[in-house]
Amino acid sequence: MVFPSAPNGVRDRLPTLDEVLLRKTRPPVDLFCFYIFLQREGNEDSLDFWLDVHQHENLCRAYFKDIRKSGRSLREEWPQYWNQALSSGSSYDQAAGITAKDRASYHSDPENHQHSFPSSSEKQQQQQQQQQPSSTSEYYDEKKRERRDTEAGVRGLDAPLRRLDGGRASPVEGVFPSGVQSQQQGGAGAGAGGAGDRRSGGAWAGLGGIGGKRRSGGAAPMVIPRSSAITRGELLLSAERIYARYLLQGGEKEIYLPPSLRINSFPLPAQLSHTDSTSLQTDAQSLASVPDMFLNQKAYVHTCLVQDAFPRFLRAKAFGNLTPATAFVRMLLGLLVLWGGLVAALCFVFLDIKPRSLRLTLLVPFYLSSHLLLSSLYALDPLLVLLFNKSETTPLRHLPLQEVYVRKLLRKRSLGLELAILVLMAVGLLIWYWIPGHRL
Can you spell out the DSSP letters for 345-389? HHHHHHTT-S-GGGGGGGHHHHHHHHHHHHHHHHT--HHHHHTT-
321: Cβ–Cβ under 8 A, 6 or more apart, which residues?
28, 379, 380, 381, 384, 385, 390, 391, 392, 401, 410
Question: How confident is the model over 109-155, as pLDDT tens digits?
Answer: 555 555 444 444 544 554 454 444 444 444 445 544 544 444 433 33
Check pLDDT > 50 for residue 372. Answer: yes
- Give how far Cα 16 sits from Cα of 127, 305, 321, 394, Å: 51, 11, 19, 23
| Confidence bin at 168 (pLDDT 50/70/90) | very low
Terminal CA-to-CA distance of the chain, rounded, Å? 72
Check pLDDT > 80 for residue 397. Answer: yes
Check pLDDT > 80 for residue 35. Answer: yes
d(CA 274, CA 278): 9
Largest CA distance in the chain: 106
d(CA 213, CA 270): 36
When pLDDT is averaged across residues 196-203 and rounded to a whole number, the result is: 38
| Least confident segment among 86-100, 335-349, 353-367 | 86-100
Beta bridge partners of 391: 399
Q: Residue 395 gets which letter from DSSP?
A: T
- Which helix (H) or strand (E) covers residue 398, if one does? strand 397-400
| Least confident segment among 11-15, 54-58, 157-161 | 157-161
d(CA 204, CA 207): 5
Highest-confidence segment of 143-157, 220-234, 263-277, 404-418? 404-418
Tell me the whole-structure pTM to 2 decimals.
0.71
pLDDT of residue 194: 39
Number of Cβ within a 10 Å radius of residue 7: 6
d(CA 159, CA 156): 7
When pLDDT is averaged across residues 67-80 and rounded to a whole number, the result is: 78
d(CA 233, CA 161): 5
Q: Residue 171 gets which letter from DSSP?
A: -
